[in-house]
């Protein structure tokens, strides 16, 4: 039984297509193996770099959560050849934690905005159709203030991001 597993490429072709890749496609029920040639860049995308956002410092519980994660990283078993190794290990775990925390915060804020907008729209609809009590107006104004705070924080975030580039 003979198997052909060679592909010939000229140096000129390799210079023209440096990102080319070749892979075998699995085929069931045949002794032939189709090959797939791709000249596109198929490297996995690099994950975005970690960015510490200053507004996280204003979020409730952030400092305590980071301190707890740092303490837990220091006490967890890891290979430590030196103080620098320990520092890098703790910093890596801290970055991973803050990256996830920031993603969760963004998701929570988007969800909170949706909930606030829905509640305001529901109160507005009731105000237009049947009217609402003074207490319900106060609730609506409170919801509006909460939404305005989120918008103000977002505006400050993007203003700061714009000056950092």
Kindly report the pTM of this predicted structure. 0.56
* pLDDT tens by residue, 11-57: 998 898 888 888 888 777 777 778 888 888 777 778 888 888 888 88
Q: What is the pLDDT of residue 165?
A: 57
What is the Cα–Cα distance from 109 to 65, expressed in whole angstroms?
18
What mean pLDDT do residues 55-74 have? 90
What is the Cα–Cα distance from 47 to 44, expressed in whole angstroms?
9
Per the CB < 8 A criterion, the answer to whether 48 and 63 are in contact is no
* pLDDT tens by residue, 116-142: 999 999 999 998 899 899 999 999 999
Q: Which whole-number Å values give the CA distances from 46 to 66, 99, 155, 157, in the listed order?
A: 25, 15, 28, 25
Q: What is the DSSP letter of 36?
A: E
155-160 LR contacts (CB < 8 Å, sep 24+): 156/55, 157/53, 157/55, 160/54, 160/55
């Amino acid at each position: 039984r003979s198997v052909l597993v060679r592909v010939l490429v000229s140096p000129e072709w390799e210079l023209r297509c440096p990102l080319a890749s070749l892979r075998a496609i699995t085929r069931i029920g045949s002794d032939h193996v189709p090959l797939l040639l791709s000249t596109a860049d198929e490297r996995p995308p690099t994950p975005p770099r970690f960015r510490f956002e200053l507004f996280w410092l204003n979020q409730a519980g952030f400092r305590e959560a980071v301190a707890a994660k740092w303490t837990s990283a220091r006490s967890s078993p890891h290979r430590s050849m030196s103080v620098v190794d320990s520092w890098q290990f703790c910093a890596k775990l801290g970055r991973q934690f803050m990256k996830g925390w920031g993603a969760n915060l963004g998701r929570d804020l988007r969800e909170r905005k949706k909930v606030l907008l829905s509640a305001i729209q529901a109160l507005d609809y009731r105000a237009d159709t049947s009217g609402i009590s003074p207490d319900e107006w106060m609730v609506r104004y409170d919801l509006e203030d909460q939404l305005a705070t989120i918008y103000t924080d977002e505006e400050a975030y993007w203003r700061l991001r714009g000056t950092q580039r």
